[in-house]
Structure 1
Amino acid sequence: MAARIHIHLVSDSTGETLESVARASLARFEGVDAVKHFWPLVRSKGHMDRVLDDIASNPGLVIFTLATGEVRNHLETRTEALGLPAVSAIDPVVAGLAMMLGKAATAKPGRQHKLDDAYFARVEAINYTMAHDDGQMAENWNEADILLVGVSRTSKTPTSIYLANRGYKTANYPLVPTRDPPPHMFQLKKPFIVGLTTTPQRLVEVRRNRLLSLAQAPDTTYVDNERVKAEVLNARRLFADQGWPVIDVTRKAIEETAAAVINLMNEALPSGEAGGPSPSA
């Protein structure tokens, strides 16, 4: 049976960092049934008291990102009295930065979410990406940082949205057997174009599940084995003819695919040029 544990994620901000840390750490252990208790925007002792009541009722590991001293001290004092481990998710990194920079860190919760130029650029990237999903508004592709191309159900849309949240304007285009890609796709200069592919077997499985979720009969040409094999083969030929890098998304998480896209884009940059979203994105 799986080992059952409680994990309390306590943050004075949105808690995104804690979610990522907990997910990555739990992935290192097999057979663990983790019950997560998520506590974002904890910025007062009164709120912390309510959190501590739940921690006392469901003892387990406490992971926190708390910038303010009083609230943090309250948590550490009470968890120590309860005999429970309380771990700061970012203290080692902050300490390393303080040593390198020669100055102390500020104690302002949620500072990473300030409404600066980078924040609004990220919003712009998300808006662009949503408007250019599934081949829409192809005439504006030269404004994109990235263009993802692939047959249906190769995770183009979720990967695009994830990249947009990283600040990259991302468009995507579905390759359809009965339709030729727009000619200007092959003359684009700005966007970094990446082909997404998967195994025919996996594609049939994903498509069949999609049809079932829509209450449609799973016996159309959309999931025909030979047709799907031909689709994947033709897509690979197109990618090779155009010299586009290819990522096989079979069994890959969206985060892994997006990271691979960014790595490929950075590798394609001229030597010495920094990677990252364009200033306009």
Structure 2
Amino acid sequence: MKQPVVIYVISDAIGETAQHTIRAVTAQFEFEEQPDIRRHAFIRDEEILLETLEEAKAAGGIVVQTLVSSKLAIFAKNYCEKEKVPNIDLTTDLTLAIESRTGLRSKEDPGNMRRLDSAYFDRIAAIEFAVKYDDCKDPRGLLEADIVLVGVSRTSKTPLSSYLANQNFKVANVPLVPEIPLPEELFKIPAKRIIGLTTTPEKLGRIRKVRLRSMGLDEMSNYSSDRRILEELEYGYETFKTLGCRVIHVEDKAIEETAVLVQEMIQVN
């Protein structure tokens, strides 16, 4: 059996740029075993860089570098040429082209890239928040959320939470079930941060039947019955009125469209 391709990502920042590029390229190949991608971030001196390059050579690896420092980039390039290690430099050529065209000089400050990447870390934190507080697993998260989505089952609360999290919003959601009391925390946050989601009985019935069918369950169960759906939707409207929150009808909207409406509603206040 062939050994997997080993790719060393070497960066003086976090190395995320190279990793995205590698994944885009490797996705075009049918590997017997997926490539072994080894990321070495925050390489800031030649000694550590040399150790990493020697490790890449010993592993028979390919080096993909995003070194902002020209000194380190040249060091890595020279080493790889001498030791016949495949090397792809994702930053130097573009840097030189910009310098040539504009007359400007690169700051060669990997910290700049890291500051730009702060949005990435914020997004990851928001995604983790959405997962942690999905379906009101921990009602304390409602107090920290930028947006709280409330609605009956299958009104797109979870996918909408995930989409908004990718826009850097901390989102929690609360399922509305007539038999389950609302968490106390829901009444401690401003109504302007709460968005109700609803739909038509017909649409909800179709979605629930498909959901039950996909799980191998009886699609004619109480969960998808007309009586139960009307009961839940009515309870939803009563809850929205009690909370004083705005409401979005999701039946004819894509997740992206609903997300835009949510953001507009939140920003108005």
Shorter chain as denominator, the TM-score bin is: 0.5 to 0.7
Structure 1 position 164, deviation (Å): 4.3
Query: Superposition RMSD on alpha carbons, in Å?
Result: 5.4
Match runs of 1:155-166 below 5 Å: 156=158, 160=161, 164=165, 166=167
Cα 1:30–1:232 change in 2 (3 A) is farther
Unaligned 5+ segments in structure 2 are 199-206, 237-246
Which residue number in structure 1 is paired with residue 217 of structure 2? Answer: 225
Tell me, in whole angstroms, the C-alpha distance in 2 between the residues paired with 1:160 and 1:225.
26
For the 8 Å contact 2:196–2:248, the answer to whether it is kept is: no
Q: Which amino acid aligns with 2:30?
A: E
Give the counterpart letter for 1:46 in structure 2: E
1:144 corresponds, among 146, 149, 157, to: 146
Superposed counterparts of 1:97-176, under 5 Å? 103-114=104-115, 133-135=134-136, 136=139, 144-145=146-147, 147=149, 151=153, 156=158, 160=161, 164=165, 166-174=167-175, 176=177
Q: 1:269, 1:155 → 2: CA distance?
A: 15
Give matches, 1:239-258, under 5 Å: 242-244=248-250
Deviation track 1:157-191 (CA, whole Å, cap 9, x = no partner) reads 9x85785475213222245584487899xx96556
How far does residue 68 in structure 1 lie from its aligned partner after superposition? 0.8
Moved more, 38-47 or 172-181: 172-181
Q: Would the aligned equivalents of 1:64 and 1:89 in 2 still touch at CA under 8 Å? A: yes
Secondary structure of 2:110 counterpart:
coil
Look up the SS of the partner of 2:35 in the other structure.
strand
Normalised to the residue count of structure 1, the TM-score between the two structures is: 0.56
User: CA–CA distance in 2 between the matches of 1:232 and 1:85?
Assistant: 58
Q: Which amino acid aligns with 2:26?
A: L
Distance 1:96 1:261 in 2: 40
Is residue 19 of structure 1 aligned with residue 19 of structure 2? yes
**Against the structure 1 CA distance between its residues 43 and 149, is the aligned structure 2 distance closer, same or farther, given a 3 Å change threshold?**
farther
Residue aligning to 1:265: 259
Q: Percent identity?
A: 22
Distance apart, 1:107 and its partner CA: 0.8
Amino acid at match of 1:200: R
Look up the equivalent residue of 1:144 and give its one-letter code.
Answer: D
Give the TM-score taking structure 2 as reference length: 0.58
Q: Does 1:200 align with 2:211?
A: yes
Q: Do the aligned partners of 1:192 and 1:265 also contact (CA within 8 Å) in 2?
A: no
